[in-house]
């Protein structure tokens, strides 16, 4: 719903303080909520002057409820539900709502029938100036706009230089700061030119941690000079090129705030480093305030939202206990802090609802873009080779290890493949079928993209892969997080091909490589230690 005429900032600055304070609140909106839950949120929108909503798939899959603690509902038309909810919530709003979502790799990050594009780590395999990065941003923006969304809380600007990172990993463009900066910038430019707001996250850098801030407070222990060299460059680049917003992470960084206060609640980090040292003038948004890294520090209803605002954040994402948060902010934040934050949030709304230029439209449809990205990101490690053919060529056993690899198996029609086997990587015992041939092509998709629990592989499955590598000549095609290779000591494989994820286009492109019909031009975006375990 468009609210016309668009109020000027001069007009909006005269609104009552409680209205301006409400505009700083961005509660979570769940696509698969019940009717009662939807009506409660509509009441908050009407009665507390809410400024925006951040959409998640369901309460079971969002923030601290993720990782299978609750059963996640399946909605084959989450996208249609999202569109309807956006219209409904806008009708309930006295002032237009900023509609936001985490769509780092496309709407499929939150929506079953949303478009999916390669993860940031796969895009990290491209050349820094590859025009496909910009086109991906344009395409993501078009998908968001068509759904009624104004703000994609991306790109991730974290430099992932910790292989054990349980929360960033594949969401980062890689471990090289300047490359991360250039790729994040290209994606951000595409999204901004495509007509959506963007957000660099998670300041001051969540890459070099081994703790998940959804569950507890990570600590970033580097000295200031190391932070300047490693964590800060992507944020400096994006800030210098006009990024709309920066998201503060929930991280203790003693080099920046010796008290150990999380960065999202730290005035020295937000006002001292982000504002003063880096010169950022735009809106600062918190990471989800229900995350245990901060919510457990201030359990009183509404207190963590107040503290985040006082520290220098402008938009409060996933604010809980909304009536209490609103009341505390009005009573205790102070007129100047509320109005300064309101001006920054209003500038975002001005850009979203009253744009100065028409959006740039993407050149490629989603399927074509995925195919081109899959081709450009396919990366060699060691010396992977197409399957041999002709007289005297060895016979291969193809092992599909993991779920969802049918597109690869079906696309790999090659005379060298004489046997096809399936391995269940979650199987707790070692009774996996053994190959009949000395030469093996192992297509591997670990069940999880995250390091805990050996990327979801059972101990028996890991042992079987390691043993296979020792007793056979193994060509490995990996459809997962490259860091999983460290669990396998995969450096001993005859050659490894990295496809990064099991999107059908990635599987088909990998099959084309083994048929001898496609190159592998990508470059591994992280450093790996592949010594045998």
CA dihedral sign of residues 515, 518, 519, 521:
negative
Q: Which residues are catalytic?
A: 214, 287
Nearest of 192, 213, 106, 93 to residue 150 by alpha carbon: 192
Rounded CA Rg of the chain: 24
Nearest of 366, 365, 373 to residue 506 by alpha carbon: 373
What does residue 163 show for φ and ψ, rounded to 5 degrees? -60, -25
The full length of the chain comes to 533
Nearest of 299, 305, 350 to residue 325 by alpha carbon: 305
The CA–CA distances, whole Å, from 88 to 38, 322, 436 equal: 9, 20, 60
Tokens 């740039």 — which residue?
360
Q: What is the DSSP letter of 402?
A: S
Q: Using CA atoms, how far apart are residues 180 and 331, in angstroms rounded to an integer?
A: 42
The CA–CA distances, whole Å, from 33 to 28, 29, 39, 220 equal: 11, 8, 10, 36
Contact between 26 and 316 (Cβ < 8 Å): yes
Q: Which three-class secondary structure state does DSSP give residue 52?
A: strand
Q: What is the DSSP letter of 262?
A: B
Q: Using CA atoms, how far apart are residues 226 and 255, in angstroms rounded to an integer?
A: 10
Q: Using CA atoms, how far apart are residues 242 and 355, in angstroms rounded to an integer?
A: 16
């Amino acid at each position: 719903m468009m609210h016309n005429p668009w109020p000027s900032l001069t007009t909006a600055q005269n609104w009552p303080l409680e209205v301006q304070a409400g505009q700083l609140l961005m509660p979570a909106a769940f696509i698969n909520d019940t009717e009662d839950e939807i009506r409660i949120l509509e009441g908050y929108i009407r009665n507390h002057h809410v400024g925006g909503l951040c959409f998640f798939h369901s309460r079971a899959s969002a923030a601290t409820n993720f990782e299978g603690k609750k059963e996640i509902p399946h909605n084959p038309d989450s996208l249609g539900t999202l569109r309807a909810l956006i219209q409904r919530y806008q009708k309930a709003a006295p002032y237009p709502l900023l509609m936001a979502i985490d769509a780092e790799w496309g709407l499929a990050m939150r929506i079953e029938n949303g478009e999916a594009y390669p993860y940031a780590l796969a895009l990290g395999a491209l050349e820094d100036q590859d025009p496909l990065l910009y086109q991906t941003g344009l395409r993501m923006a078009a998908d968001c706009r068509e759904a009624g969304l104004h703000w994609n809380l991306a790109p991730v600007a974290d430099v992932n230089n910790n292989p054990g990172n349980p929360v960033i990993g594949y969401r980062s463009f890689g471990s090289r700061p300047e490359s991360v900066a250039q790729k994040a910038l290209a994606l951000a430019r595409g999204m901004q030119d495509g007509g959506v707001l963007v957000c660099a996250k998670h300041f001051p850098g969540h890459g070099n941690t081994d703790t998940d801030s959804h569950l507890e407070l990570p600590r970033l222990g580097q000295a200031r000079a190391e932070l300047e060299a490693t964590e800060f460059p992507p944020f400096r680049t994006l800030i210098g090129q006009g990024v709309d917003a920066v998201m503060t992470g929930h991280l203790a960084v003693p080099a920046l705030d010796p008290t150990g206060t999380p960065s999202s609640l730290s005035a020295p980090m937000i006002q001292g480093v982000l504002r003063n040292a880096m010169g950022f003038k735009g809106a600062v948004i918190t990471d989800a305030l229900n995350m245990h890294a901060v919510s457990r520090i201030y359990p009183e209803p509404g207190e963590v939202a107040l503290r985040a605002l006082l520290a220098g954040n402008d938009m409060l994402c996933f604010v809980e206990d909304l009536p209490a948060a609103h009341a505390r902010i009005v009573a205790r934040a102070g007129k100047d802090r509320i109005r300064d934050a309101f001006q920054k949030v209003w500038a975002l709304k001005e850009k979203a609802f009253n744009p100065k230029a028409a959006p740039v439209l993407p050149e490629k449809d989603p399927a074509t873009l995925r195919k081109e990205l899959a081709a450009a990101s396919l990366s060699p490690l060691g010396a992977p080779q197409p399957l041999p053919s002709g007289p005297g060529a060895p016979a291969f056993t193809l092992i599909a290890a993991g779920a969802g690899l049918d597109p690869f198996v079906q696309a790999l029609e090659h005379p060298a493949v004489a046997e096809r086997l399936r391995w269940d990587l979650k199987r707790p015992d070692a009774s996996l079928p053994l190959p009949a041939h000395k030469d093996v092509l192992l297509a591997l998709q670990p069940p999880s993209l995250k390091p805990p629990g050996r990327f979801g592989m059972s101990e028996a499955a890991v042992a079987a892969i390691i043993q296979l590598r020792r007793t056979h000549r193994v060509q490995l095609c990996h459809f997962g997080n490259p860091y999983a290779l460290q669990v396998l000591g995969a450096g001993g494989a005859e050659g490894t091909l990295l496809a990064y994820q099991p999107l059908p286009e990635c599987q088909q492109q990998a099959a084309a490589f083994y048929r001898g019909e496609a190159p592998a031009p990508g470059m591994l975006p992280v450093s790996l230690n592949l010594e045998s375990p």
